[in-house]
Amino acid sequence: MAAARATRWFALATACIAALVLAGVFVRLFEPQLTESKSVLRELQREGRIVVLTRNAPTTYYIDRDGPTGYEYELTQALGQALGVDVEYKVYGTIGEVLDALRAGEGQIAAAGIPRSPQGEGDLQYGPDYKVIRQQVVCRRDGPKPANLAGLVNVSIEVPAKTQFEERLNALAAQLPGLTWRARSDIDTEAVLEDVARGDVDCAISASNLVAIYRRYHPELVVALELDGDQPLAWILPPNADRLVSFLDRWFAEDQQQEVIARLDERFYGHVDSFDFVDIARFRRRIATLLPDYRKTFEAASAQHDLSWTLIAAQAYQESHWDPGAVSPTGVKGLMMLTLPTAKLWGVSNREDSSESIEGGVKHLAWLMKQVPETVTGVDRVWFALAAYNVGLGHLLDARDLAVRLGKDPDAWKDMREVLPLLAKPEYYRKTRHGYARGYEPVVYVQRIRGYWDILKREFPEDAELHAANGTALRAAAD
């Protein structure tokens, strides 16, 4: 009995040892696969930084007067804060180059305005969706344009190679015999739109968010067709980043992060919802014909108050279309359309004198920026001050009080643009200190100035460089 029991115990111990040995071998063989998914998150937290791969474009990452900015830049900065790490950027020319760099281990996230592909990205993996766009066929207003999908065979088409736009054309080719296009590996979507604007090619396929911005630079561009339905944008990560993907899933789902995205949508796209071809085309012509007459005055007056001269020029165009003799039915006059009391306040004796009008308008805007409550930060201070210039400071403050009563954020322009129009409704303005106001007008006013300013900043990038060199910015003017 004792011998048999000892034999059984020996056999059991031998089996356990063998199992442990085999388990050790298994772990050694497969440890890279078991732990690899944790490595990216652990590595970036250990190093205290995350490397983001992006591209230089108005919808992603670019240098403004305050330094780097852009939708993807601001969103990844928020991620860095959430992780407690610094964010380093590597900038490439095309989405294809960004993804090649990600595969080569140059970074941990590709954040470049990349639409999610039904075919996926092979060995790479998508993070959560954060914005929706549509693929659009974009052509020249005065050139050939397809009326439907079948009409695509009758126009020349250009797209960036190895993108979702080329994938869509490959899918359409099966049902549209004769469909041809040129896929270029040396340029990205922005350059393709430039080719269409110049007339080098009839049409291109692009993302709706980029088209909305570029139509302001090139008003001759027109959307001929929309392809498919909504298409989400998503970041792309390496195959060994499961832990980081899980973190992003939770992070993007948080209410606080959804609010950040809403603010970014308003900041970067809130002014491109409306598009007036005739107005934008006329504005671009007057940049060449009228603006040179007033540019030096805009620059000199703006510099005295640490403001961007292109902002003041954009505001002046909205006020008077750069006509120093402009007069409104209510009696406001001049390039900056000053009221008589405002002109007297700032020492303007002749409102129709362009220099006096510009100097008075700049002084008034700078003063209004100082009256905006300190809780309003960033470029929203500019939008608030412009709204007050249009509708009056008292009505702006009334709208802030109303926003609080409605559970809106009184410090965010994205909320105030919803509240201000309510000042024209009796059930709201009767409860305010200053009463009725055409509250929809400052919303349109600010939106149009943002559109004009966007164009001028692109036309005169040295304005941004000047502010950066001097260490100044719009936010400094608000202090």
Give the contacts of 224 (CB within 8 A, at least 6 positions apart).
Answer: 136, 137, 138, 139, 145, 146, 147, 203
3-state secondary structure of 115: strand
Q: Where are the beta strands (DSSP E) in 146-186?
A: 157-160, 182-184
Q: Where are the beta strands (DSSP E) in 119-269?
A: 125-140, 157-160, 182-184, 203-207, 221-237
Calpha distance 387→318 (Å, rounded)? 13
Give the residue numbers annotated as catalytic, written as ranges.
Answer: 319
Q: Which residues pair with 223 in a beta bridge?
A: 138
- Coil/strand/helix, residue 92: strand
Dihedral, 80, 81, 82, 87 alpha carbons, nearest 10: 10
Amino acid identity at 25: V
Q: Which residue has the tokens 């020492």?
A: 347
Angle, nearest 10°, between helix axes 189-198 and 208-217?
A: 40
C-alpha to C-alpha distance for 256 and 265, rounded to whole angstroms:
14
> Nearest-CA neighbor of 116 among 73, 168, 38, 190?
168
Tokens of 291: 């603006």
Beta strands 125-140 and 221-237: pairing type? antiparallel
What DSSP assignment string belongs to 287-321? Answer: HHHTHHHHHHHHHHHHHTTT--HHHHHHHHHHHHS
Distance CA 53, CA 50 (A): 10
